Structure 1
């Protein structure tokens, strides 16, 4: 994923004006983003620090209903005239057609809890082809052990080359418990293991999966790989996939051992710069699944609890 010079957001020209006005209002009000977030929360609106940062930088803008409601409250918090910020948004961007490329894609570490650690680990592998691989389909299966731990993960990708040359897929895995051994990665189909970076002190595993051969523009490839933990398995209460670039279809399954079925489970998703959407789900036949179409950038996953 070679870093290209950043271009202004493609939004009909309204993005820069909105971001500049928001930055000016924040400076005039003299509040940090954390204080602004707290003021919004007191008004019953939840907006993440990342979202506020993206809005003021021009990386994204409020478009969904929840975000526009939050913007109304933000104008009150910043003590600017009603409509002075929302009036700069212009018409919403088209969302009916799936876009495989994002004009202003988030950085590779944007959605991770320790971005600096991810950036440091990723520098040791070759990510130059990341933006030249369209995510046609991705399918993750997560397997939870009888003691409620993360036993293994099985992933399948269908990718299409948008230029001649892509020859690898880079896997980034983060585990919450840094005192445990990192999972091992096993290439299963149409790939072999390249460079691997293990950072147990930050819970990070980064690995290259090398294709059978470099792809030509327009060619597709199906790869499969598995991540396997060592017993005793790290405790599991959630799983999410982070999407720096859009995916046409994403399917996620979480399989629970019959001896460890959660009493509560919820599916969540959050598009870049938007509010999180949460839905309670029922565990049927010891598993749950979710499907997202034309999704990203953002994150998608499940959370669960084994106790009431």
Structure 2
């Protein structure tokens, strides 16, 4: 049985995902025509204009209704302060969200897991030891998105796995229960647990096809986060000697650009101080690197506000 999910978690998860969806091209173009600056960040006034236009077309308001009256409602929804069922359905209708996107938002709002998406707190079972890893990663690409509140809001991972012995599972480990994991390609999330005596949570993914030793498969998954407070300003990734190609990109919301960004190398995931750091310049709010890792190491970014 899953844990009882704090309603605020579901609200924050849905708000994060709603914000990200509105930034995608198919939905962005709907509000961008109402934005004065075409390449600007998400405009709440422009989003409110889309909602107002829908209400007028549906005959729910008259032509004297002003979109400005909806801006506070939009702000509360996107901030995760308040997102009622009625407001969520208004967004879904006005932006004509696909059935898949609409169902994802409804389930997140309710804190419920689905066949393709697992809300970690909803699915947590008893604590367990860290499971063995009968696979290794050959290629890894990470995209880490930091939101306007300076907290991670979305993480996207693509990786090529090779089985070192027969297996039908992959285990994805991270350090928070404030998350919902969707597998976009290669499997389905089936359960979650906390590793005994640690802050590490594991989501177990049932692969689309079982692997024999030496066989490979591609996995693609994304994690929506809903931290109650911003975590440490960094993203690190531990890699092993089997990784032939590593790519890490960090994206910062225009409202949360760091004062200083550093690329670093740490001795281990527990190390607080990096062994090597170098300053990195942001370009359009993002920075990235690609390399062949020099054996087992921990690579990533740290930033200062």
**TM-score under structure 2 normalisation?**
0.52
Asked if residue 184 in structure 1 is aligned to residue 180 in structure 2, the reply is yes
Asked if residue 171 in structure 1 is aligned to residue 167 in structure 2, the reply is no
Q: Which runs of 5+ in 1 are unaligned?
A: 1-119, 176-180
Separation in 1, partners of 2:152, 2:239 = 21
What is the deviation of 1:294?
Answer: 3.6
Of the three residues 161, 164, 176, the one matched with 1:162 is 164
Contact preservation (8 Å) 1:156, 1:224: yes
Tell me which residue corresponds to 2:299: 300
Tell me which residue corresponds to 1:234: 230
Tell me which residue corresponds to 2:286: 287
In structure 2, the residue corresponding to 1:167 is in which secondary structure? Answer: strand
Tell me which residue corresponds to 1:261: 257
Q: Which runs of 5+ in 2 are unaligned?
A: 1-125
Separation in 2, partners of 1:219, 1:280 = 39
Contact preservation (8 Å) 1:150, 1:236: no
Separation in 2, partners of 1:244, 1:182 = 27
| Residues 1-308 of structure 1 aligned to structure 2 (within 5 Å) | 123=129, 127-128=131-132, 130=133, 132-163=134-165, 165-175=166-176, 182-198=178-194, 203-230=199-226, 232=228, 234-243=230-239, 246-270=242-266, 276-306=275-305
What is the deviation of 1:201?
Answer: 9.6
Contact preservation (8 Å) 1:154, 1:225: yes
Tell me which protein shows more helix as a share of its residues: 2
Contact preservation (8 Å) 1:121, 1:206: no
Contact preservation (8 Å) 1:250, 1:295: no
**TM-score under structure 1 normalisation?**
0.51
In structure 2, the residue corresponding to 1:186 is in which secondary structure? Answer: strand
What is the deviation of 1:246?
Answer: 3.5
Contact preservation (8 Å) 2:192, 2:204: yes
Contact preservation (8 Å) 1:249, 1:292: yes
In structure 1, the residue corresponding to 2:284 is in which secondary structure? Answer: coil
Tell me which residue corresponds to 1:67: none
CA distance 1:244–1:218, shift in 2 (3 Å): closer
Contact preservation (8 Å) 1:151, 1:233: no
Separation in 2, partners of 1:239, 1:188 = 22
Q: CA RMSD in A?
A: 2.8
Separation in 2, partners of 1:249, 1:288 = 17
What is the deviation of 1:195?
Answer: 2.8
What is the deviation of 1:137?
Answer: 0.4
- Post-superposition Cα deviations, 1:99-129, rounded to whole Å, max 9, x if no partner, equal xxxxxxxxxxxxxxxxxxxxx9552x6x33x
> What is the aligned residue count?
176
What is the deviation of 1:250?
Answer: 1.1
